[in-house]
């Protein structure tokens, strides 16, 4: 075998090394090309992503909600999260409020806004039987430093669940331990439970941490079950002792709502700044021995600690009357009763009382002095026909044979001197009379009577409205400007008599009422007759009106029994002050003779009073409003106003099928604005 020489081998090695070098250079070129292509690919990919993002942004701009600025979106998110009227099933299944979470899962922009908005997560609610700390902790962390609104309302338990009370208590303990470090940030507490043991834990927590709740402005404590049992709790004992002794401290609480909770377990130091108070004590139908009955003495003492109270809402509040008035001494009860004086609520402006018993109205109101009350909304309920025992009797039920309270039903009268608005709903006219007969309303400006019962659409049952002088002790309403009747029947003659007590009435609203024709005829009745001085002949036409000369607006909603001719007569009678034409045309005729011609009877001048001066002028200036002998303003209409009634400026006709649109619009020729639906 021929062997290569060393020189030949070295030469061949050099050739191969040269080829390897060439291949490496080519490999480096390929690597460089691949790197350039990768960079080009990344550049193309980034440019594609940017273009797609731009396309997405342009597509997003087509949706109107994305036109809104972020600040406005945040306000919308907060309003949505605060809405409790949603019917979504998730609000029942989840333990927390799902609305902030829903908002944060819509899109990337909304999620960034939601997580950056601490107020969106400041409402911490829990509604689950079992305790899970993770959702509550997540909300607290995302709420930042915002004030917190706490809501605890577990779902209802089955009646056969023996461990329900203990389970509810343990769940609330877990909730309380979690939020306890942040109590200084709590702005409102809404707490509802089923068992009294859980409520006892809540009340004790309020007492122990009252110094930490320096930002608390709203407190709502209620039982979700009717007639809870207070067995195995100290709530009734605390109520008898007047609550637990606490040091006097400044409170910022302005809104307080209590439902079925003993009043005196709440510290008086929390009440001094309360402006809105809502109390709800439904009638118990159970026969449990340890149930709570609201005494009048507790109510009287409780309200004495609320000097800043402005709005009071009472729902089915009918306290057991265990007090008598010191100044009247009118109530007598079995056993020893405490005599007290009426307490003054100097800043109370609005009172809403739902489901008040007829004879409880005066009995309850007589224990309070309300010098600033301007609005009173009351729903009168019929007294229960059956009562289980005399212990549960409430109020001044003088007409009931089983009542242990006896009093004269008209033993006194309360004058609501500052009241401007009165809204009354009742089931029948008798309850209306029994409730308001002992009140005086000398400065009333707005009045509404409504039937509160439920009737089918085509019901023929009548709900008669009693005469106004039966409802009020003094039916004169000299300052009344707005009057509304709803779902009531006005008997013939009652309408005219009622309107005659309202000389300054500006607006009359009748909703689904019968007997409207009688009221329209009274409004169109002429005051007298006069010759038309604008015509050459001696035609005599009716002039002036007898009731409500200042009326400007009539609203008729769902009133099926009146005729258009009567509505036309009202507008026509007040369209032109024809009664004054004779007075203007016959200036040379004495006023008494002119009025005699208008009224059709002889008008004799009054004799001069003894207190006149030599020139015939009174020694003292006359008052701006006619006064009655008792000092109250008179409802007698001056002749000048009766002969110069105001024009009907607006007529609303809604759901009155007997009136066609053409007939209604024909009233516009008298300068009246007509709204027809």
At 50-61, the pLDDT tens digits run 999 899 888 888
Asked if residue 128 lies in contact with residue 171, where contact means CB atoms within 8 angstroms, the answer is yes
Does residue 73 sit within a domain?
A: no
490 and 416, same structural domain? no
Does residue 382 sit within a domain?
A: yes
Residue 19: both structure tokens together: 């080829």
User: Which of 158, 157, 148, 102 minimizes the C-alpha distance to 125?
Assistant: 148
User: Which of 224, 210, 212 minimizes the C-alpha distance to 151?
Assistant: 224
Does residue 170 sit within a domain?
A: no
User: Which of 508, 524, 532 minimizes the C-alpha distance to 575?
Assistant: 524
482 and 425, same structural domain? no
652 and 510, same structural domain? yes
User: Which of 406, 274, 241 minimizes the C-alpha distance to 331?
Assistant: 406
Q: Is the backbone of residue 103 left (phi > 0), alpha (psi -120 to 50) or beta?
A: alpha
656 and 512, same structural domain? yes
Residue 55: both structure tokens together: 């396309």
471 and 398, same structural domain? no
Task: Give the model's pLDDT for residue 289.
Answer: 52
- Three-state secondary-structure class, residue 581: helix
436 and 469, same structural domain? no
524 and 389, same structural domain? no
User: Which of 408, 400, 415 minimizes the C-alpha distance to 472?
Assistant: 415
428 and 330, same structural domain? yes
- Three-state secondary-structure class, residue 455: coil
pLDDT per residue over 280-318, tens digit each? 998 765 555 557 888 899 999 999 999 999 999 999 998
What is the extent of the structural domain holding 50? 17-62
633 and 495, same structural domain? yes
DSSP string, 255-296: EEEEES--GGGS-HHHHTT--EEEEE-PPP----TT----BH
Task: Give the model's pLDDT for residue 367.
Answer: 93
CA distance 227 to 294: 12
Q: Are strands 421-426 and 375-381 parallel, antiparallel or unpaired?
A: parallel
CA distance 207 to 511: 50
User: Which of 106, 138, 109 minimizes the C-alpha distance to 121?
Assistant: 138
Does residue 67 sit within a domain?
A: no
Q: Are strands 540-543 and 528-531 parallel, antiparallel or unpaired?
A: antiparallel
CA distance 497 to 475: 10
Residue at a domain's end among 440, 455, 488: 440
Residue at a domain's end among 7, 36, 62: 62
Low-confidence ranges of the chain (pLDDT < 70): 1, 84-94, 158-162, 242-249, 284-290, 327-336, 384-411, 455-462, 529-542, 576-635
Does residue 88 sit within a domain?
A: no
Does residue 609 sit within a domain?
A: no
667 and 542, same structural domain? yes
426 and 300, same structural domain? yes
430 and 478, same structural domain? no
For the chain, the straight-line distance linking the first and the last C-alpha, in angstroms and rounded, comes to 124
Does residue 125 sit within a domain?
A: no
Task: Give the model's pLDDT for residue 619.
Answer: 35
Q: Alpha carbon of 262 to those of 234, 266, 485: distances in Å?
A: 11, 8, 38
Residue 555: both structure tokens together: 């609203």
Does residue 193 sit within a domain?
A: no
Residue at a domain's end among 404, 423, 440: 440
**Biggest alpha carbon distance in the chain?**
172
CA distance 584 to 507: 30
Total domains, the chain: 3
């Amino acid at each position: 075998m021929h062997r290569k020489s060393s020189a030949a081998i070295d030469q061949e090695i050099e050739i191969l090394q040269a080829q390897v070098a060439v291949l490496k250079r080519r490999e480096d070129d390929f690597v460089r090309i691949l790197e350039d292509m990768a960079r080009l690919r990344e550049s193309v990919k980034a440019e594609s992503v940017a273009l797609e993002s731009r396309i997405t942004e342009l597509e997003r701009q087509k949706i109107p909600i994305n036109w809104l600025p972020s600040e406005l979106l945040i306000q919308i998110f907060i309003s949505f999260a605060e809405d409790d009227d949603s019917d979504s099933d998730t609000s029942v299944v989840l333990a927390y409020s799902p609305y902030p979470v829903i908002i944060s899962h819509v899109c990337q922009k909304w999620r960034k806004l939601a997580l950056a908005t601490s107020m969106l997560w400041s409402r911490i609610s829990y509604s689950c039987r079992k305790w899970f700390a993770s959702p509550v902790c997540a909300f607290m962390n995302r709420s930042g430093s915002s004030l917190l609104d706490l809501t605890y309302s577990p779902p209802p338990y089955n009646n056969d669940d023996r461990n329900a009370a203990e389970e509810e208590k343990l769940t609330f303990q877990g909730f309380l331990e979690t939020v306890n470090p942040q109590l200084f940030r709590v702005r409102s507490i809404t707490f509802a439970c089923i068992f009294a043991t859980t409520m006892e834990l809540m009340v004790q927590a309020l007492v122990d941490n009252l110094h930490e709740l320096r930002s608390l402005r709203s407190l709502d404590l209620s039982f979700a079950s009717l007639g809870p049992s207070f067995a195995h709790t100290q709530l009734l004992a605390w109520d008898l002792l007047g609550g637990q002794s606490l040091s006097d401290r400044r409170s910022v609480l302005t809104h307080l709502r209590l439902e079925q909770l003993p009043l005196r377990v709440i510290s008086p130091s929390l009440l001094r700044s309360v402006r809105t108070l809502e109390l709800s004590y439904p009638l118990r139908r159970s026969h449990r021995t340890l149930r709570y009955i609201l005494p009048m003495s507790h109510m009287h003492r409780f309200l004495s600690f609320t000097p800043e109270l402005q709005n009071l809402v009472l729902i089915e509040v009918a306290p057991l009357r265990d007090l008598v008035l010191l100044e009247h001494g009118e109530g007598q009860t079995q056993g020893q009763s405490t005599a007290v004086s009426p307490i003054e609520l100097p800043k109370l402006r609005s009172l809403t009382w739902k489901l008040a018993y007829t004879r409880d109205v005066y009995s309850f109101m007589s224990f309070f002095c309300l010098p600033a009350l301007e609005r009173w909304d009351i729903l009168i309920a019929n007294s229960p026909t059956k009562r289980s025992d005399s212990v549960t009797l409430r109020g001044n039920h003088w007409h009931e044979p089983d009542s242990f309270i006896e009093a004269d039903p008209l033993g006194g009268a309360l004058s609501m001197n500052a009241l401007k608005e009165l809204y009354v709903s009742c089931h029948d006219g008798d309850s209306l009379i029994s409730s308001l007969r002992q009140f005086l309303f000398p400065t009333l400006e707005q009045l509404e009577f409504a039937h509160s019962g439920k009737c089918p659409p085509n019901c023929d049952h009548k709900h008669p409205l009693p005469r106004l002088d039966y409802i009020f002790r003094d039916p004169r309403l000299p300052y009344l400007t707005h009057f509304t009747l709803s779902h009531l029947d006005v008997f013939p003659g009652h309408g005219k008599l009622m309107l005659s007590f309202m000389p300054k009435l500006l607006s009359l609203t009748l909703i689904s009422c019968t007997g409207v024709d009688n009221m329209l005829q009274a409004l169109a009745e002429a005051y007298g007759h006069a010759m038309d001085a604008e015509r050459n002949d001696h035609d005599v036409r009716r002039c002036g009106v007898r009731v409500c000369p200042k009326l400007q607006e009539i609203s008729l909603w769902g009133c099926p029994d009146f005729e258009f001719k009567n509505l036309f007569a009202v507008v026509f009678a007040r369209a032109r002050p024809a009664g004054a034409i004779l007075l203007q045309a016959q200036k040379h005729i004495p006023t008494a003779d002119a009025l005699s011609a208008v009224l059709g009877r002889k008008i004799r001048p009054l004799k001069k009073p003894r207190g006149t001066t030599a020139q015939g002028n009174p020694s003292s200036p006359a008052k701006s409003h006619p006064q009655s002998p008792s000092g109250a303003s008179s409802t007698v209409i001056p002749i000048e106003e009766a002969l110069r009634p105001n024009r009907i400026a607006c007529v609303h006709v809604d759901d009155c099928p007997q009136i066609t649109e053409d007939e209604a619009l024909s009233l516009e020729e008298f300068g009246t604005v007509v709204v027809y639906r």
